[in-house]
């Protein structure tokens, strides 16, 4: 009964390869995100999707392509991997409550995928 799951947990690959990381949430949330944590532990948003629609696309190389087949899934495909892509990638999800008053944006994070490019 994991809330946000990612596969694989570890990914070791050679430069130039293409790889994908999968993310699934069973919380019924309508928004999903990808964050990147670099070697200095700095966490930065890459993408966010709301109801399968791209909302945020930060300055990320176009070798990175997110795909959301449905609200519960947000996968990250990376082409032509480079050494600098080595990082931990976190998926997250949240629900925006459309009620009176402020919306909530509490994000639930997956366990992370540690990508190592050799």
74-86 burial code (b ≥16 CB/10 A, e <16): bbbebeebeeebb
Q: Work out whether 14 is an interface residue with another protein (CB under 8 A).
A: no
Check residue 88 for interaction with another protein (CB under 8 A). yes
Asked if 56 touches another protein (CB under 8 A), the answer is: yes
Show the DSSP H helices in 63-118 as ranges.
none
φ/ψ of 117, rounded to 5, equals -105, 120
Minimum CB separation of residue 83 from another protein in Å reads 21
Q: Per CB under 8 A, does 109 bind another protein?
A: yes
| β pairing state of 10-13 and 113-117 | parallel
Residue 71 binds another protein, judged by CB under 8 A: no
Kindly list the residues in this chain that would bind another protein in the complex (CB under 8 A): 30-31, 33, 35, 40-45, 48-51, 55-56, 88, 90, 96, 102-109, 111-112, 114
């Amino acid at each position: 009964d994991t809330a946000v799951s990612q596969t694989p947990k570890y990914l070791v690959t050679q430069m130039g390869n293409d790889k994908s990381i999968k993310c699934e949430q069973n919380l019924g949330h309508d928004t999903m995100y990808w964050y990147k944590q670099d070697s200095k532990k700095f966490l930065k948003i890459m993408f966010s999707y709301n109801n399968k629609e791209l909302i945020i696309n930060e300055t990320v190389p176009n070798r990175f392509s997110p795909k959301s087949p449905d609200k519960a899934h947000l996968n990250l495909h990376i082409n032509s991997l480079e050494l600098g892509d080595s990082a931990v990638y976190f998926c997250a999800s949240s629900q925006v409550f459309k009620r009176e008053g402020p919306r909530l944006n509490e994000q639930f994070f997956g366990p992370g995928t540690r990508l190592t490019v050799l």
